[in-house]
Amino acid sequence: MSETIRLTTGQAVVRFLAAQFSERDGAEQRLIPGMWGIFGHGNVAGVGQALLQAAHTGEADLPYYLARNEQAMVHTSAAFAKMRDRLATFACTASTGPGSTNMITGAALATTNRLPVLLLPSDMFATRYPDPVLQQLEDTRGGDVTVNDAFRPVSKYFDRITRPEQLIPAALAAMRVLTDPAETGAVTLCLPQDVQAEAFDWPVEFFRHRVWHVPRPAPEPAAVARAAEVLRTAHRPLVVAGGGAVYSGAGNELAALADATGVPVADTHAGKGALPADHPCAVGGIGSTGTAAANALAADADVVLGIGTRYSDFTTASHTVFGNPEVTFVNLNVARLDAVKHSAVAVTADAREGLRALLAELDGWRVDDSYRDRAGQLAAEWRRVTEECYSRGHGPLPAQTEVIGAVSEAAGERGVVINAAGSMPGDLQMLWRARDPKAYNVEYAYSCMGYEVAAGVGTKMAAADREVFVLVGDGSYLMLSSELVTMISEGIKVVIVLVQNHGFASIGSLSEELGSQRFGTAYRYRSGESGLLDGEALPVDLAANAASLGATVLRAGSVAELRDALAEARANTTTTVVHVDADLFGPGPPGSGWWDVPVAEVSELTSTSKAYENYAANKQNQRHYL
Ligand SMILES: Cc1ncc(C[n+]2csc(CCOP(=O)(O)OP(=O)(O)O)c2C)c(N)n1
Ligand SMILES: [Mg+2]
């Protein structure tokens, strides 16, 4: 008989997680360096007791962090994982019922973005003795259904630990999925509250130091040969660099490919900075909110080399950005799901390994000088447009692009920018110059309002030596700004730039474009006359709100004031909110991409009928890549 140790399931979870490490390229780090949580019945005396005991006895090193909202703590963990190239993340414990289901949006965000997070929702009694307990949803269809089943479709691994010993295979499976670059996402282990407190004799080997080697799958030589053969025929190739290029740490290889071949490189949100913006081959963001440079090259490209991209609709401009009828795709991706998209010649492999193999196979191949020069000119022209957007002198309120210009200046060489939803992701995709692969943490897969402030916490924890700039719209701030308090209590310093435009600049302009006249997109009083939400401005003061939560707050009414405030915020040692007013109506950067959002086919409104004509015309350009 092997040696055993008697612990509760909660204590075993804590001890196990503290012993897990990830390794890639010889560098080992804690896979789960801590646990976020909010206690309630379900986890307070189970996992909660275990964390307390660990802190007291030192038997396991798993710091506990108290979040203010369960959704937010999952965002914090996802942002941390993103910053750590998916080699580390946090665990999140929540109480039964609402505490747990609050994490579902966070789980969906993590899985959509292919970011690892470990969720430990508490669950109903395994014995079912006292049912129905507070916060239990009774299901007439089956006794084993709980609200936590709603995690299943948003989790890459889901399990419910109804007996202590089930934790052993479940915990090992959870670590496998978290550290699998092709499979990773939210991993959910539901912990019934009685099981958390139940004792069991665990084999001590379960708690040994365990290293999860994060694989770099090598490409099949035949696939590399097929890919190189297609690329060698290309006259107007274009690289689309996605998140996979960043997470794999393929920056040097991507630069080597660009240097050796002169191929222009466009990027997605997740891929921004994989090739630094100042590289001669960088042409910026592609797609619906892409630069004119990247989109013009995409329109003609005969071969597209997608590296680590999922080809979301924003990347493909809803299947319209690649306009060449003969366009062929070559995809390098660790996930076969993405590698085969658009009927591509697929290389299923780690981005760095795949690029190395491709580089060798492409020896001697270069794009024509004329094509390289054209790409260079387009990129230079876009740099000029960017400068214009950064310094428009718009008034009386600043344009958001000027706010972004000032933040970009303040961010300097090492600043990290965070954003997720609203009109800013599009502006950033067009205008932000990411100087390195970790400079840009914009979550634009789930584009979840409320990510920003919470992500500031995780990003700063992952990269304490970098200044973190959270750009957040008033709508997003109103939805989820609670982690400001967490920043204060944990002494986590970030600069939050709160862009106040009293509503949805993004959906407002989209609504207008689609013939819906900005209906319901401004934060205003309901008007007695119209009966609509188009009355007077509201007496909302989000700067006062942030100050009330303990942040240092600076107000800026102009770009000049914003610059000064950002300099002061940088110099501060505690979280500082810079509140800046901006024009709800733009102007934004010049767009060149379409986004498919269906318009009413029949309507009583002229604005809608006009928009429908436009929609139907754009629809003509949409195609499958077969
Ligand atoms: C959780 C969530 N709900 C709804 C949306 C849809 N949505 C996208 S942007 C937006 C408005 C964002 O407003 P704000 O944060 O003020 O940014 P702005 O558009 O003004 O730049 C909404 C409602 C979303 N992305 N996420
Ligand atoms: Mg707004």
Mean pLDDT of 548-574: 97
Backbone angles phi, psi at 249, to 5 degrees: 70, 40
Of all residues in the chain, the percent with pLDDT exceeding 90 is 100
Question: Could you check whether 4-213 and 221-381 share the same CATH topology?
Answer: yes
In tens, the pLDDT along 86-104 reads: 999 999 999 999 999 999 9
Terminal-residue alpha carbon distance, the chain:
59
Say how far residue 110 (Cα) sits from the centre of its chain. 7
| CB count in 10 Å sphere of residue 571 | 8
In tens, the pLDDT along 545-556 reads: 999 999 999 999
Query: Measuring CA to CA, which residue among 386, 380, 374 is closest to residue 263?
Result: 374
Of all residues in the chain, the percent with pLDDT exceeding 70 is 100
Task: Give me the DSSP letters along 465-534.
Answer: TS-EEEEEEHHHHHHS-THHHHHHHHT---EEEEEE-SB-HHHHHHHHHTTSTTTT-B-BPPPTTTSSS-
Distance between Cα 87 and ligand 2 center (Å):
34
Mean pLDDT of 397-403: 97
In tens, the pLDDT along 470-516 reads: 999 999 999 999 999 999 999 999 999 999 999 999 999 999 999 99
Record the pTM: 0.98
Say how far residue 335 (Cα) sits from the centre of its chain. 18
Q: How confident is the model at residue 2 (pLDDT cuts 50, 70, 90)?
A: confident
Pairing between β-strand 64-66 and β-strand 35-38 as defined by DSSP bridges: parallel
Q: Is 475 in the pocket of ligand 1 (CB under 6 A)?
A: yes
Q: Is 501 in the pocket of ligand 1 (CB under 6 A)?
A: yes
Ligand 1 atom having least distance to the Cα of 105: 1
Q: Return the CATH architecture of domain 4-213.
A: 3-Layer(aba) Sandwich (3.40)
Looking at domain 221-381, its CATH superfamily turns out to be TPP-binding domain (3.40.50.1220)
Q: Is 506 in the pocket of ligand 1 (CB under 6 A)?
A: yes
Residues with Cβ within 8 Å of 200's Cβ and at least 6 positions away in sequence, in order, are 6, 7, 8, 9, 12, 164, 165
Of the ligands numbered here, which is closest to the C-alpha atom of 509?
Answer: 1
Backbone angles phi, psi at 469, to 5 degrees: -115, 110
| CB count in 10 Å sphere of residue 345 | 21
Residue 308: the pLDDT is: 98
The amino acid at 470? V
d(CA 465, CA 612) in angstroms, rounded, equals 50
What secondary structure letter does DSSP report for 237? E
Domain spans of the chain?
4-213, 221-381, 394-502+540-581
**What's the mean per-residue pLDDT of the chain?**
98
In tens, the pLDDT along 444-466 reads: 999 999 999 999 999 999 999 99
d(CA 282, CA 446) in angstroms, rounded, equals 26
In tens, the pLDDT along 160-174 reads: 999 999 999 999 999
Q: Which H or E element spans position 485? A: helix 483-490
Q: Which H or E element spans position 254? A: helix 251-261
Residues with Cβ within 8 Å of 476's Cβ and at least 6 positions away in sequence, in order, are 420, 421, 422, 449, 450, 451, 452
d(CA 500, CA 553) in angstroms, rounded, equals 14
Task: Give me the DSSP letters along 552-614.
Answer: EEEEESSHHHHHHHHHHHHH-SS-EEEEEE--TT---PPP---------SS-S-HHHHHHHHH
| Secondary-structure class of domain 394-502+540-581 per CATH | alpha beta
- Residue ranges near ligand 2 (ion) with Cβ within 5 Å: 473-475, 501
The amino acid at 306? G
In tens, the pLDDT along 31-72 reads: 999 999 999 999 999 999 999 999 999 999 999 999 999 999
Question: Which of helix, strand or coil describes residue 506?
Answer: helix
Distance between Cα 231 and ligand 2 center (Å):
44
> 274 and 337 in contact (C-beta within 8 Å)?
no
Mean pLDDT of 319-341: 98
- Residue keyed to tokens 């900005």: 518
d(CA 566, CA 581) in angstroms, rounded, equals 14
Distance between Cα 502 and ligand 1 center (Å):
12
- Residue keyed to tokens 């754009």: 618
Quick check: bond before 425 cis, omega within 30? no
3-state secondary structure 52-107: HHHHHHCCCCCCEEECCCHHHHHHHHHHHHHHCCCCCCCEEEECCCHHHHCCHHHH
Q: Is 507 in the pocket of ligand 1 (CB under 6 A)?
A: yes
Of 472, 504, 538, the residue with max ligand 1 atoms within 8 A of its CB, to mutate for a pocket test, comes to 504
In tens, the pLDDT along 199-234 reads: 999 999 999 999 999 999 999 999 999 999 999 999
Distance between Cα 75 and ligand 1 center (Å):
16
Asked whether the predicted pLDDT for residue 527 surpasses 80, the reply is yes
Distance between Cα 143 and ligand 1 center (Å):
38
Ligand 1 atom having least distance to the Cα of 501: 20
Sign of the dihedral through C-alpha 409, 411, 416, 421: negative
Distance between Cα 583 and ligand 2 center (Å):
9
Residue 553: the pLDDT is: 98
Mean pLDDT of 301-330: 98
What secondary structure letter does DSSP report for 537? B
**Six token digits for residue 568:** 């002061």
Biggest CA–CA distance in the chain, Å, is 81
- Residue keyed to tokens 């040692």: 573
Residue minimizing CA distance to atom 1 of ligand 1 = 449
Asked whether the predicted pLDDT for residue 277 surpasses 70, the reply is yes
**Six token digits for residue 255:** 């630069």
**Six token digits for residue 435:** 């100087």
Of 75, 470, 500, 506, the residue with max ligand 1 atoms within 8 A of its CB, to mutate for a pocket test, comes to 506
Backbone angles phi, psi at 153, to 5 degrees: -70, -15
What secondary structure letter does DSSP report for 433? -
Q: Which H or E element spans position 329? A: strand 328-333
Bridge partners of 240, per DSSP, are 266, 306
What secondary structure letter does DSSP report for 218? P
Q: Is 423 in the pocket of ligand 1 (CB under 6 A)?
A: yes
Asked whether the predicted pLDDT for residue 1 surpasses 70, the reply is no
Q: Is 449 in the pocket of ligand 1 (CB under 6 A)?
A: yes
